[in-house]
Every structure is written in C-alpha cells, then in structure tokens.
Structure 1
Amino acid sequence: MVKNKYLRYLPLASLFGTQRTRELFQYNPTILPVREEADEVKIYVYDYNAQHFEEQRPAHVADCFSFRDNEHITWINIDGLRKQDVETICNQFGIHALLMEDILSVGQRPKMDDVEGILFCLLNMLYFNETTRTVETEQISIAMGKDFVISFQEDGSRDVFDPMRNKLKMVNSKIRQRGADYLCYSMLDMIVDNYFVVMERLGEQIELLEEEVIRRSNTRSLAHINHLRKELIVLKRNIAPVRELINGFIRSESDLLEDRTTKYFKDVYDHIVQAYDFTENYRDMMMSMQDIYINNVNLRMNEVMKVMAIVTCLMAPATVIGGIFGMNFEAIPLLHNKWGFYISVTAMLFIPLIMLYLFRKRGWY
C-alpha cells in the first residue's frame, strides 16, 4: 500500500526522458560500435526490364550471384544484417571493404560515396511510433552498380518501398523502362517523402501541445515540450545531412548516372530542402512555446503575488489599529469609552473598503 501511494508520481518524472537523451548522444565516432547479428535475414530479389519481371526470395545470399550481369536490372533487398552475409555479397558484386564497414556500422551520419565504380549512400528511414510518440530510425545502405542496386536494412518488418514494389509489377511503369539509377532515385524519393509523414505527425503533437500550454501550463506541459524538442533533434540530425547526400548524386560524374536522371535527383533535393525548412520552423515553434510556458508561469506568479499584496494591504489597517489599542498604556483615547470597541472595529472594516475602491479605480485588479 505504501509503494502504491507513491507510484502515481513516477510517470511525471519519466516524461522528462533522460533515457531518450542518452539514446541521442550515446554514439562516439572514435569508438567502433559492435552491431548485433540479426536473428533472421530475409532476401528479396526483383529482376526486371521493360518486358520481364521476376520476384524471388532466395534462402542464401549466394543464390543472388546468378543475377549479376544478366542484362536485366536487379534490386537485391537484404533485411537483417549479418557480417558474413554482407561480406559475401559485397565481395561478389565488387563493393569496397570501406563500404562494407559503413554498411555494418551503427549511428553513421548520412552520406554518399563513389568508390571503384560503385555509388553508395547511407541514410536513415524515419518512422513515428504512435505509442511512445517518438521518432524511430532505421539505417539503410544502398549500393548501386552497373544494372544492379543492393539495399541493406536493419529491420525486415517495415520499410517505405511497398509503392515502388507495386510499380515494378506494372508493365508500363516508368521504373520498368529505366535503369538502375532511376531505381536508386525512386528509393531515395520514397525515403524523403516519408520524412514528411513523420513531420506531419510531429506537427499534430506540437499543435496539441500548443493548446495545452496556452490553456494550462504546468510541469507536465514542460515535460512534453522537452520531449518534443528531443524528437526534433532526431528529425534534424537525420534530415540535414541528406541534402549533401542528394547533392552528391547531382554533382557526380559517374557513368552509372544518366544525364536525364539528374533532374529527378534535383526534385528530391528540393523536397529535402523543404523538409529541413520545416524542421527549422518546428524548432522555432518549440522555442516560442517554451517562452510562452515561462511567461505563463511568471504571469501566474505575479497574479499570486498581487493577490497576496492586496490582502496584506487590506489587513494593514486592522493590524495598526489593533496594535495601537493593544499597547500597555492607560492614557489612550477611547480606551475607556463604551463605544471605543465599535469605533475601532468599524475603522478596521471601513478603511479596507476605501482601499479596495481606490485599488479598483486605479485598475490594480
């Protein structure tokens, strides 16, 4: 019973999210992180051209080797990372060892590289968890070579590529008519478009919080502000570097990129710049909301102090009159008068009424 008495205070403390702070700043780039091996690896292969489409689910990465140099466009999507599998398929498709390290890394900053005929990019897919109201990240690595794209994902249970998979099954879809560079563009475009979905959900949370802060500012409101500011840090940290990543594709002189595909990457660049602007706007809103919270707290404190000051002023006449007639002297006017008590009480009540009238007239309350 004693424990249950104090359990109701625990959720409020947990709202300040100290654990979330550790998650945001726990990565040290000078220390090589250890990635846990995935319990299950799922491999999906989409092999296609304008007239042909084939979808397979190989049991082992070695089963994907036959798709190299088959004059089709091949997308190999690996869900779940194991070091041996990554090294095996990277060695077969000519992906450099440095890129292997990036694929197996944890907490990498989004980036784009051109290494020995392979265009490589690494970034995070973002999801909004409705239960915890947090932004979750999943690292994805994309390696593009001649007529193939290999993507490595951490979590096989979710991604944002289902609309693209549906387009691959359509004979007349543009993605079926184009090369691997257009496939890579489509993947990046869907990842960036999903950023706006996450931002929309955060925007709804900010809107609800704004109403809460304006109507009733309390400690819980401050905890919610702190929580959303941390989620905006996650958002900004993952969106800002993607501008450089997309710009790398636009400026690249690799033979893997057709000139006609550049305009599509420019469209993605415009979207990511707009997404970054939204994060800055949300950040400004949170700063303004924190200022509103502080102002509301100060306003309530001023109201309390004003009421206390008025009460103190109203009690002052009674205190003075009572103190005068309470002195231990015999020669005090009205001390032995039979009306003295009633006169003093009347003065104690009448003077505060006059003071209230004057305060009201001056607009002090």
Structure 2
Amino acid sequence: MPIKKMLPIPDVLDALNPFKVKKQRLMNFNPAMGITPRKPAETSKITVFEYNSDDCKEKVLDNIEDTFPYMKSQHLSWINIDGIKKEDVHAICEYFMIHPLIEEDILSIGQRAKMDEIGERLFCLLPMMYFNKESTTIDQEQVSIVLGKNFVISFQEDPQRDVFDPVRDKLKIHGSRIRNGEADYLCYSLLDVIIDNYFVVLDKLGERIEVMEDVVQHNPDTRALARINFLRRQVLFYKRAISPVRELVNGFLKSESDLLEDKVTKYYKDVYDHIIQCNDLADNYRDMVLNLQEMYHTQLNLKMNEIMKVLAVVTTLITPLTLIAGIYGMNFHNMPELESRNGYFYTLAAMGLLLVIMIMLFRKRGWF
C-alpha cells in the first residue's frame, strides 16, 4: 500500500515491512468527502440464473441492457455482475428502480458492512473474504446485494473469484430448497455462503497461530516478533471487517418488509448465529495473538536469564582462581612459596582442585 537523502514514503514503508506485503486499509470511505473514487473494472461479466421449481437457465450476457427484461419476468432471477463499472451500475439501478443512495454505496470503496431498506428494495453490503496462500494475507472484496420482489442483483469487484459456487450448484439441482424458495431465500443463501467462508479464512489464521506458538517456544528471535506483529494486524483486519456483519444480518431479522417471508426468518437466524460465533472466534484468536506476544517476551527473558546464569557461574568459578593468581603475582621478596622448587605445580593443582570442588558443590545445589 499505498522515511536520509530522504526516501519516499512508499519506499520507507516497504523497507519496514519484512514480508513485502502491501498493507490494506479496511475502511477508507469518508462520507464527508462523498463517494470514494473507484477505478472502472477492466473486464466485467454478467451472469443470470432464471429459475423456478421446474426449470433453471443460466445465461452469460454481453450488455447490461440485456438484464432489463428480467425485472418483469414471471420466474425468479439472480443477476450477478462481476467487475463494477459506473455506467453499468447507473443503468441497472435506474431501470430496476434502485435508489441513488444505494447506487452510491455500490460504487463506494472500503464501505462498512450495512443493510438498508429503501422503498421496495432491500440492500446489503458486506466483505467477501479470502486467504491468500502466496502472501499469507487476508484479501477481501466488497459485495453488494439488492433484493427485489422476484430478483436478486449482486455486484462483485473481482470477476476472477467468488464463493458463490455452492449456490450455483444448488440452483442446478431439481427440487432443491433454493429452487422452491422465493427471492428472499436466494438472498439468504448468498449471505450464508459468504459468512460460512469467513470460517475458512479463520481456520487458516488459526493454523498460523499454532505454528507461531511452536516458533516462539523454540526460536524467539526478532523475526518471530515481526511475524507475530504481522499476524496481529491480519487478525485485527479480519475482526474489523466482519464485526459490522452482525448488525447487517440483524437488520434482516428486524425488517418488516413484504419481501421477507416469515418462514425464511429462521434461516436468517441461523446466519445470525454463525456470524456471532465467527466474531467470538475472532476475539479468541486476537487474545491468542496477544498471548503470543507475551509468550515471546517471556521466552526472551528466560533466555536472557539462562545467559546471565551461565555468566554468573563462570564468574564465580574464575574469581577464586583469579584471587590465587593475584596473590602469587605480587612482587614481594619475602614470600616463602616463591622459593619452592615445585610451587608452580602445587599452585596449579590447588587451583584445579578448588575448581572441581566448586563445580561439584554447584551441581549438588542444582545451580546448573
């Protein structure tokens, strides 16, 4: 993401980042500054599922105008737009009578997860999370979902990936619950698969935390501390991303819109339970990372104590020998031992014997 001679700020940030991973701000949307500028997608893909209990058709459309007939279709329709372009969003929102405020939210970047009910449309916006195995970071993209009477429109930023394949597979199964349900059940299914994927990302974070526990116990060096701090930022990023989703799902439970049937409410309650569990696990992992930091400092202190203990023992063993050597190194003429023929060897033997006695005494007391 986006300090001698002075380095440019991006170069300094890269130099301070041992993992060479670009930091990503979760929420950079400032309502006071209007819509955060969004670069138009280079490619976009429009996919439509038109279905009922008896039949399901999947189509890939070339133009946004080709989606307009599905507004008045007798069947249910799921219009999925991969790759957001301003003109396409404006056109489909205008034709499907989607409020301009919802259009602004769809075009925003880094928006906080939210749920709105404007007119005859229900709208929700939330992050879709992925774990990047190459950089070992958490990636996210913003997903917007609009619920109408007989249609659901979803907007995704990345046309290369999503987590909606389980929903697509169920739509192709004759007699499946989603085929027999209404548009509100399809909206639930999309939310459910997004939130279920949060657990997949959370499992990956849990695996890395377990690995770091072993690293801290066996090799608590400065690189281990950098990895702990990096992991702490990832957990915080994840926590900040999913926390608002709880209120989003709660908005569907509290809504009195005619678009939501009472029999589907229990499914949204299940999603609500999942997001609560996900938040609780994220809190637990955050505490575990903080414990890792404390463990690192504890291990570092223990290592330092062991070093100081060895130095203290060595100093204690050398001190008596230094005393003897110092006494016989004095330049007095009336020292009787200086005239001894074997005094040198006697002194060395006494020093060696004293050293052995001290080592045996220290080991008996368990000092090393």
TM-score by length of 2: 0.91
Count of residues in Structure 1 that have an aligned counterpart in Structure 2: 353
Structure 2 counterpart of 1:238: 241
State the percentage of identical aligned residues.
51
Instruction: Give the deviation of 1:208 after TM superposition.
Output: 2.0
Cα distance in 2 for residues equivalent to 1:296 and 1:140: 43
Instruction: Give the deviation of 1:54 after TM superposition.
Output: 2.2
Alignment of 1:164-183 (within 5 A): 164-183=167-186
5+ long unaligned stretches in structure 2: 1-14
Cα distance in 2 for residues equivalent to 1:121 and 1:297: 47
Alignment of 1:324-339 (within 5 A): 324-339=327-342
Structure 2 counterpart of 1:34: 37
CA-to-partner distance for each residue in 1:303-336, whole Å, 9 max, x for gaps? 1111111111111112111112222322234122
Q: 2:50 aligns with which of 26, 47, 52?
A: 47
Q: 1:308 aligns with which of 305, 308, 311?
A: 311
Which AA in structure 2 matches 1:231?
Q
Structure 1 counterpart of 2:61: 58
Cα distance in 2 for residues equivalent to 1:262 and 1:26: 30
Is this contact kept in 2: 1:15–1:220, CA < 8 A? no
After superposition, the Cα gap between the structure-2 partners of 1:88 and 1:260, relative to the gap in structure 1 and judged at 3 Å, is same
Q: 2:139 aligns with which of 133, 136, 141?
A: 136
Alignment of 1:219-238 (within 5 A): 219-238=222-241
Structure 1 counterpart of 2:161: 158
1:24 aligns with 2:31: no
Is this contact kept in 2: 1:15–1:227, CA < 8 A? no
Structure 2 counterpart of 1:194: 197
After superposition, the Cα gap between the structure-2 partners of 1:53 and 1:43, relative to the gap in structure 1 and judged at 3 Å, is same
Instruction: Give the deviation of 1:17 after TM superposition.
Output: 4.6
TM-score by length of 1: 0.92
Name the SS for the 2:72 alignment partner. coil
Which AA in structure 2 matches 1:74?
S
CA-to-partner distance for each residue in 1:175-216, whole Å, 9 max, x for gaps? 111111000000000001111111122222222222222222
Is this contact kept in 2: 1:148–1:180, CA < 8 A? yes
Cα distance in 2 for residues equivalent to 1:14 and 1:322: 52
Cα distance in 1 for residues equivalent to 2:19 and 2:237: 14
Cα distance in 2 for residues equivalent to 1:331 and 1:290: 63
Alignment of 1:255-334 (within 5 A): 255-334=258-337
Cα distance in 2 for residues equivalent to 1:58 and 1:323: 96
Is this contact kept in 1: 2:27–2:111, CA < 8 A? no
After superposition, the Cα gap between the structure-2 partners of 1:249 and 1:26, relative to the gap in structure 1 and judged at 3 Å, is closer
Name the SS for the 1:57 alignment partner. strand
Structure 2 counterpart of 1:92: 95
Is this contact kept in 2: 1:222–1:290, CA < 8 A? yes
Is this contact kept in 1: 2:317–2:358, CA < 8 A? yes
Which AA in structure 2 matches 1:24?
R
